[in-house]
Amino acid sequence: MKARFVAAQLLVVLLLGAVLYLYLNGTLERYRAAELAGQLRVDAGLARMVIVRDLNDLHRDAPRLAYRVGRETRARVTIIGPDGTVVGDSEVSAPGLATLDNHGSRPEVRAALATGQGSAVRYSETLKTDMLYVAVLFQNQAGVPGVLRLALPLASLEAAKAEFRGVLGGSLLLTALLLAALSFLLTRASSRSLHAVASIATRIGKGELGTRVPVEEGTGVGELARALNDMVLRTEEQLGRLSAEKNRLDTILSGMGEGIMVADPQGVITLVNPAFRALFELSDDVQGRQLIEISRHPGLHESFREVVSGSKERVEELQLRSSKEKTVLTHWVPLLEAGHLQGAVAVFHDISDIRQLEKVRRDFVANVSHELRTPVTVIKGYAETLLAGALESNPEQAARFVGIIYSHANRLASLIADLLTLSQLESGTIALEARSIRLAEVAERVCALLEQKSLQRKITVDIAGLAAAPAVLADLGRLEQVFFNLLDNAIKYTPSGGSVTLSAWEENGRVRIAVKDTGMGIPARDLPRIFERFYRVDSARSREEGGTGLGLAIVKHIVQLQGGTVSVESSGQGSTFYVTLPRGQENHQHNEVSSCRKTI
Amino acid sequence: MQKDHLSSRFDAEMNQVRARLLEMGGKVELMIANAMKSLVERDSALADRTIAFDAEINAMEIEIDERCVHILAMRQPAARDLRFVTLALKIVTDLERMGDQCVSIARHALILNREPQLKPYIDLPRMADAASRAVRDALDAFVTGDAVTAVRVCREDREIDILNEQLQRELLTFMMEDPQCAGRALSINSVSKFLERIADHATNIAEMVIFMVEGRDVRHTVL
């Protein structure tokens, strides 16, 4: 840049010099030649006078006269006869004249013969230099015509020209050098500050926004620096605002439980949040990929197309099948910018749990009515038969019918009792009095209650594992119910000759109780739902055994109310139900109770 | 300039074929799930819907076919692009066949749902899971160009074959015990076979993905 600037200046100077040289050189040459020619012409005029006076015989007097005139004028003087032969020459002695060729054809001689006067500049073979020739016609007193020619070498002109060239060239060179040095110094001074500004601007461009340009007052660069500083300051402010905005948005997006996805009109994903990744079980980066590559769910693409083509909002429920089935409520909004469609935003809300709950509630109502109707129908049917006359006609049968009615009334009663218990547990109206309880005591009492049943079925109940167990913190009555339900179940579903083993141990500061049977086990697909109300693996069998279908639901609710957890494991060789309860500690009894309540 | 324009349009056309193919895959996955749901949950209405849904799959087959032929005729793709287009033509056939198998399953579901359940469906849902997983994995492998997954799909096809054979043996014992249930047993047997075939089609797709990614033809070889 700098070099080019200097070079351009030099070029201008040189060009100027060249034009000046060409013009002055030409003018000088012209003036000089004209001056010389004028002088020579004057000389020639004077010489003619001498020759006209003194030349009597062309051949006899000419050499002498030529010599004399030549000596005076310091020019080469040639006298030429009318036929063109040289008759006298100041530089050639008389005998040598014969060797000279005829001068009649020389342009200046021809001109002189024709008009009386002529001049020419020519390279002289004789003297090996540029010569100025001036020729005049004369006539001596005898009337013999001839041509007198004066010649001067142009060497003096050449010398003058050389001197002029020298002066001009020298001054030009000096000017050029001076200019180069000056402009170099000046541009270096200004470019140094420009450089400084440029390097700082580069650093700012790279993101070092804290950098400021030092301002030199009163210069153009100083103004530039000030403008740059202002610009950086504003950019910094704007960037700060933008990044704060982006951070806030990022935080909101990543904190949201709903999955969010933004896609452009071509279906390329431009933004997703962590919840979306979790919902679609994506591990790698999805931005910039096609929506179809993320999920092939047909409904998803239909919604997307509808939103993009119609630019209208859309709410839809989708069933996603990833590792487990999910119900997702999707809310599609077209992304409009200044009236132009920029894509679509979708919010995905996982409503599987809500749907599941709704289903449970629906099933519960259906189940309750079904469970209640069955015994009522039976009671009603047998009572009608009795009323129709069976009471009198067949007392033996009647007694059996009454027995059936009684057993179903019992079933109804226990069902209603269980439902009541459950609703109390759920509403939290049951007051639980938590205290330290030895598990072995509870188990013994429950075993006594179930002794007859287990003896009938030849099932051994082993509670030895509870003898050394730590105490638990629970409500005694409810814990008994938990044990009763679990043991009752275990005895019911264990074939005769099997065994039920109870054990308990401390785990992570809590007490874990295991009820293990050697029954038929529970199919894996039923395991997650086994604690649901009225959920039965084999409904016919369960009812046959006199179950209400609420036992395990009650167990779950009681345990959860006391801050515990329930779980189940099962294989072909039997099932194990686990109950985890807080460990009993006399001192912390009441605190534990309150904490139990909190976890509900 | 003109050339750039042409090539970008070509890319857009290829991408469209890809997107439509994946969408069709998604619909087939849904169809498999629905066909099996109609059988396991004895939902005859869903079976009817599944049978009707096949029309969409068929329409998509024709559409994708036309797109591919159009590309072949107008653009004369070479090398990778040619491989992709021929692959798409084949995958589309496999997907359409899967749709047909689903229709057959739904038809059998309609028959089976009219009669009492012969036995709890345990192996069939497992086979259906394996088959739809194979389809999903094969298509995922196609999307990501993941030859490892594709090879796994080919290998896991064996498991489905084994399940199929196991089910056939079991059904045979049912039929020998009670000839009355032979009809239902045969229906279940057919469903099992259809599932096995769906898995075979998924394996075909996986093999083509391996060809697309690694350029080696693994058809009719043991992986």
Q: How far is B27 from chain A (nearest CA, A)?
A: 6
Label residue B58 by pLDDT band (50, 70, 90).
Answer: very high
Residues of B with CB under 8 A from a CB of A: 15, 18-19, 22-23, 25-27, 29-30, 33, 122, 139, 143-144
Q: Hey, is the C-beta of A267 within 8 angstroms of any chain B C-beta?
A: yes
Listed in sequence order, the DSSP H helices in B76-181 are: 79-113, 123-144, 147-177
pLDDT per residue over B149-194, tens digit each? Answer: 899 988 888 888 888 998 888 888 888 888 888 888 888 899 999 9
In this predicted structure, what is the pLDDT of residue A589? 42
Give the whole-angstrom CA distance, residue B205 versus residue A232: 57
CB contact under 8 A, A297 and B139: no
Give the whole-angstrom CA distance, residue A246 versus residue A535: 49
Q: How far is A336 from chain B (nearest CA, A)?
A: 24
Q: Which residues of B20-40 are buried (b: 16+ CB within 10 A; e: fewer)?
A: bbbbbbbbbbbbbbbbbbbbb
Q: Hey, is the C-beta of A334 within 8 angstroms of any chain B C-beta?
A: no
Examine the domain organization and report whether A145 and A33 are in the same domain: yes
Examine the domain organization and report whether A156 and A292 are in the same domain: no
Give yes or no for residue B21 having a pLDDT over 80. yes
Please state the rounded mean pLDDT for residues B100-110: 93
Q: How far is A297 from chain B (nearest CA, A)?
A: 5
Of A296, A321, A523, Cβ closest to residue B23:
A296
The label of the residue with tokens 């469609």 reads A341
CB A432 within 8 A of CB A475: yes
In this predicted structure, what is the pLDDT of residue A6? 73
Examine the domain organization and report whether A360 and A484 are in the same domain: no
Of B22, B27, B33, Cβ closest to residue A293:
B22
In this predicted structure, what is the pLDDT of residue A596? 38
Residue A306 lies inside a defined structural domain of this protein? yes
What are φ and ψ of residue B55, in 5° steps?
-55, -40
* Domain around A330: 256-350
Nearest residue in chain B measured CA to CA from A267: B19
CB contact under 8 A, B19 and A292: yes
CB contact under 8 A, B23 and A321: no
The count of residues in chain A is 600
Q: Find, among B139, B106, B123, B87, the residue nearest to B38 by Cα.
A: B106
Examine the domain organization and report whether A369 and A506 are in the same domain: no
Pick from A408, A424, A440: which residue ends a domain?
A424
CB contact under 8 A, A296 and B19: no
Q: Could you please report the per-residue DSSP string of A464-481?
A: EETTTPPPEEEEHHHHHH
Burial category of B93 from C-beta neighbours within 10 Å (exposed 0-12, middle 13-18, buried 19 and up): middle
Examine the domain organization and report whether A73 and A105 are in the same domain: yes
Give yes or no for residue B62 having a pLDDT over 90. yes
Residue A217 lies inside a defined structural domain of this protein? no
Give yes or no for residue B222 having a pLDDT over 80. no
CB contact under 8 A, B33 and A295: no
Q: Contacts of residue A267 in chain B, CB cutoff 8 Å? A: 19
Residue with the larger pLDDT of the pair B203 and A422: B203
Q: What is the CATH number of the domain that holds A468?
A: 3.30.565.10
DSSP-derived 3-state class of residue A560: helix
Pick from A305, A320, A350: which residue ends a domain?
A350
Which of A280, A283, A296, A322 should one mutate to test binding to chain B, selecting the residue with the greatest count of B CBs within 10 A?
A: A296
Of B33, B143, B144, Cβ closest to residue A321:
B33
Examine the domain organization and report whether A63 and A113 are in the same domain: yes
Q: Hey, is the C-beta of A298 within 8 angstroms of any chain B C-beta?
A: yes
Residue A50 lies inside a defined structural domain of this protein? yes
Pick from A369, A399, A424: which residue ends a domain?
A424
CB contact under 8 A, A321 and B22: no
In this predicted structure, what is the pLDDT of residue A600? 35
Nearest residue in chain A measured CA to CA from B142: A293
Residue A402 lies inside a defined structural domain of this protein? yes
Q: Which residues contact A231 (CB under 8 A, 6 or more apart)?
A: none
Listed in sequence order, the DSSP H helices in A101-154 are: 107-115
Q: Contacts of residue B27 in chain A, CB cutoff 8 Å? A: 296, 298
Q: What is the CATH number of the domain that holds A405?
A: 1.10.287.130
Give yes or no for residue B201 having a pLDDT over 70. yes
Examine the domain organization and report whether A460 and A404 are in the same domain: no
Q: Which residues contact A271 (CB under 8 A, 6 or more apart)?
A: A253, A260, A261, A262, A287
Strand partners, A566: A579
Range in A576-585, B44-53, B101-110 with the lowest mean pLDDT: A576-585
CB B85 within 8 A of CB B17: yes
In this predicted structure, what is the pLDDT of residue B2? 44
Q: Find, among A305, A291, A307, the residue nearest to A259 by Cα.
A: A291
Q: What is the CATH number of the domain that holds A328?
A: 3.30.450.20
Q: How far is A359 from chain B (nearest CA, A)?
A: 15
Q: Which domains does chain B have, with CATH numbers?
A: 2-214 (1.20.58.220)
Q: How far is B212 from chain A (nearest CA, A)?
A: 17
Examine the domain organization and report whether A45 and A17 are in the same domain: yes
Residue A248 lies inside a defined structural domain of this protein? no
Residue A247 lies inside a defined structural domain of this protein? no
Q: How far is A322 from chain B (nearest CA, A)?
A: 10
Which of A283, A292, A297 should one mutate to test binding to chain B, selecting the residue with the greatest count of B CBs within 10 A?
A: A292
Q: Find, among A351, A280, A294, the residue nearest to A322 by Cα.
A: A280
CB contact under 8 A, B23 and A301: yes
Q: Find, among A114, A109, A111, A133, the residue nearest to A122 by Cα.
A: A133
Strand partners, A434: A475
CB A328 within 8 A of CB A318: yes
Residue A222 lies inside a defined structural domain of this protein? no
Q: Find, among A511, A532, A518, A539, the residue nearest to A460 by Cα.
A: A518
Q: Which residues contact A565 (CB under 8 A, 6 or more apart)?
A: A559, A579, A580
Nearest residue in chain B measured CA to CA from A325: B33
Q: Contacts of residue B22 in chain A, CB cutoff 8 Å? A: 292-293, 296
CB contact under 8 A, A296 and B26: yes
CB contact under 8 A, A298 and B26: yes
Q: How far is B196 from chain A (nearest CA, A)?
A: 21
Domains: count for chain A: 4
Q: Which residues contact A289 (CB under 8 A, 6 or more apart)?
A: A268, A269
CB A360 within 8 A of CB A352: no
Examine the domain organization and report whether A415 and A486 are in the same domain: no
Residue A243 lies inside a defined structural domain of this protein? no
CB contact under 8 A, B22 and A296: yes
DSSP-derived 3-state class of residue A338: coil
Q: What angle do CA A292, A295, A296 make, to 5 degrees?
A: 70
Report residue A96 CA to chain centroid gap: 103
E-strand stretches of A387-450? 434-437
Q: Find, among A116, A166, A142, the residue nearest to A57 by Cα.
A: A142
- State the count of interchain CB pairs (< 8 A) between A and B: 31
Examine the domain organization and report whether A343 and A383 are in the same domain: no
Q: Please, what are the averages of pLDDT over each run of 10 residues along chain A (600 residues)?
A: 73 85 82 81 83 78 81 82 81 76 82 83 75 83 80 76 83 84 80 80 80 74 82 88 92 88 88 86 80 83 86 84 81 86 89 86 82 86 85 82 88 86 81 83 86 86 84 86 88 86 87 87 80 75 70 87 87 85 63 38
Examine the domain organization and report whether A323 and A401 are in the same domain: no
CB contact under 8 A, B22 and A292: yes
Burial category of A346 from C-beta neighbours within 10 Å (exposed 0-12, middle 13-18, buried 19 and up): buried
Structure tokens at B19: 């997107």
In this predicted structure, what is the pLDDT of residue B99? 94
Q: Contacts of residue A292 in chain B, CB cutoff 8 Å? A: 18-19, 22-23, 26
- CA distances to A245, A284, A492, B55, B74 from A232, rounded to whole Å, are 19, 37, 81, 63, 54
- CA distances to A25, A88, A134 from A39, rounded to whole Å, are 21, 22, 10
Q: Contacts of residue B25 in chain A, CB cutoff 8 Å? A: 296
CB B211 within 8 A of CB B218: yes
Which of B8, B16, B27 should one mutate to test binding to chain A, selecting the residue with the greatest count of A CBs within 10 A?
A: B27
Give the whole-angstrom CA distance, residue A193 versus residue A215: 10
- CA distances to A253, A447, A472, A555, B198 from A440, rounded to whole Å, are 53, 10, 11, 18, 57
DSSP code at position A268: B
Q: Contacts of residue A293 in chain B, CB cutoff 8 Å? A: 22, 143-144
Examine the domain organization and report whether A462 and A360 are in the same domain: no
